[in-house]
Amino acid sequence: MVPYGIYDTSANSGYVSLGIDHDTAQFAVNATRLWLDRMGRERYPDARKVVVTADCGGSNGPRLRPWKVELQRLADATGLTFRVCHYPPGTSKWNKVEHRLFCHITQSWRATPLTSRLAVVELIASTTTKTGLTVRCELDTNSYPKGIKVTDAEMATLELALSEEARPGGPPQGRKRWTLDLLTGAMVRRTEHRGRSRETVRRRLAEDDIKPCRRNMWCIPQVDGAYVACMEDGLDLYGEPADPKWPVVCFDENPDPVDR
């Protein structure tokens, strides 16, 4: 079983969809749909936009095509605009869903045998805190197959928009993403080489030492101005006054299955 949690920062309430199949983008977006149906619509009847904070991994990663496709379908069905803010690698614990929802759920079932799915649902739903946290939990018995491919043609139909400001280190103005040709040109400009081949750049990108996921570390490798600016954007978002037309919710899945 895989718990997928949604934490409402304004209402101090959580919704957990307890899946019994794979942790996929379809599962994550269906949890969002259930939260809207069970809690969100009633609490925010005039909402036109939903702000989502999420980490960069799991079923809601920024590079996952199925996540974007499923979220577009939900937006089409509900008429809502979803603004997704992904935390930089190594900072997912700053997401409020971690220390305001999942940590308390973990305390609720500590030293308790998880003998059945019903027991897990009841333990999660009984979670509360001195500050008034309430949690609703439901079992999702749907099947979510892995390995679904999304074509370039399908991606071209999505109504995606980048944030208003270009991030430091992002692609050149007017470009949606980096390509090998753009990276090659950027490397030539920043080094003393007169030229580099696309193949040289491609091989360099494939090396493990430049991939954060391949490094064994317990700390953030480098904290520079661009990194701090990204994190301050997330903190500023939490500091904004509550707006019933623009609720802020935090997404995350529990990475550890609860039935092993």
CA distances from 57 to 93, 113, 132, 155 (A): 12, 29, 29, 20
Low-confidence ranges of the chain (pLDDT < 50): 165-166, 210-215, 217-218, 260
Chain length of the chain: 260
Tell me the C-alpha distance between 62 and 161, whole Å. Answer: 13
pLDDT of residue 29: 95
pLDDT score at 186: 73
CA 5 to chain centre: 11
Q: What is the pTM of this model?
A: 0.67
- At residue 196, the pLDDT reads 66
Other Cβ atoms closer than 10 A to 252: 27
pLDDT at 218: 44
User: Which pLDDT belongs to residue 33?
Assistant: 95
pLDDT tens, residue by residue, 133-143: 999 999 999 99
Compute CA distances 172 → 133, 186, 242, whole Å: 44, 10, 35
For 190, the 3-state DSSP assignment is: helix
pLDDT score recorded for residue 87:
81
Q: Give me the pLDDT at residue 30, please.
A: 95
In this prediction, residue 205 carries a pLDDT of 62
Q: Name the nearest CA neighbour of 12 among 196, 250, 201, 231.
A: 250
Q: How many other β-carbons are positioned within 10 Å of the β-carbon of residue 97?
A: 23
